[in-house]
Amino acid sequence: MFTGLVEEVGTVESVKKGPKSATITIKAKKILEDIRPGDSVATNGVCLTVTSFTSNSLKVDVMAETMRRSNLDNLSSGSKVNLERALKLGDRLGGHIVSGHIDGTGTLKDFRQEDNAVWVSITAPPDILKYIINKGSIAVDGISLTVAYVDNECFKVSIIPFTGDETTLLQKNIGDKVNLEVDMIGKYVEKLLSFEKDSPSKSNIDVNFLSKHGFL
C-alpha cells in the first residue's frame, strides 16, 4: 500500500523490452536508503517489485498486463518517474490509501495557471470517471490529489507549487498519458451492490421458519 505522497523523482536509465514486457532500470537516491530485493515501489503510481539494486539505481520487471494498462510502455532512457516506497505501519497517512493497482490511463487536456496554483484537466474513459467525485481523492501518476471538478468527459485537479516541484506532472505535455487510480471504496461499494442484485434468491429460512419447525 502507498499514500500517494511522492518521495522523489527518478530518471529512467534504460528500458529493455521483451515482446510485451520490459525490464526498467531507474536512477534514484532517497528510496534506495533502505530498499531490498522484493520490496514494492510505486513507479508513476504502478506497484512494481524491486528485483535488484545498486548504490544509485534499482531494477524492476514489468509484465505485459501492466504495460497494456499503464503509461510505462511510453518510458525511455531519460524519462522522469514518480517514486514512492510502500507504506510502513506507523507512518503518517498524509495522502490517501493507494494500492498501486491502477484502473487505467487518462490524457492531459489542459494546464491553466491561477495565482500560485495550476489547474490540470484530464480526460478519462467513462468506466473510470464514474468513480470520480468532486472533492474525492485520486492518484495521478502516483500523486495523491483532490478532485476539484468532474463532468462526463474529464476531471480537474489543482497543483500547488510544492507538488509541482516535487513530481513530474507539470513537466508533461498536453496529450500525454497519465496513470489513474480511483478511490477503492467506490469500487467495493459497487461490487457489493451488484452482488446483492445478481445473487440467487435469498433463503426462506428465517426466525419464523425456525420457530414453526420447532427449532426455537
pLDDT for 99 equals: 94
**Which pLDDT tens digit goes with each residue over 63-86?**
999 999 999 999 999 999 999 999
**What fold does the segment set 8-85 form as a domain?**
Elongation Factor Tu (Ef-tu); domain 3 (2.40.30)
CA distance 191 to 201: 18
Residue 202: band (very low, low, confident or very high) from pLDDT cuts 50, 70, 90:
low
The tens digit of pLDDT for each residue in 19-53 reads 999 999 999 999 999 999 999 999 999 999 999 99
Residues of the chain with CATH 2.40.30.20: 8-85, 104-187
Confidence (pTM) = 0.87
In angstroms, the CA 186 to CA 182 distance is 8
Q: Given this structure, which CATH class describes domain 104-187?
A: mainly beta
Which of the 8 DSSP states describes residue 98? Answer: B
Per-residue model confidence as pLDDT tens digits over 132-187: 999 999 999 999 999 999 999 999 999 999 999 999 999 999 999 999 999 888 88
Write down the pLDDT at residue 127: 94
Q: What residues form DSSP beta bridges with 177?
A: 107
Give CA–CA dist 35/68, Å, rounded: 27
**Given this model, what pLDDT does residue 192 score?**
81
Return the ∠ at Cα 160 (arms to 32 and 151), rounded to 5°.
Answer: 110
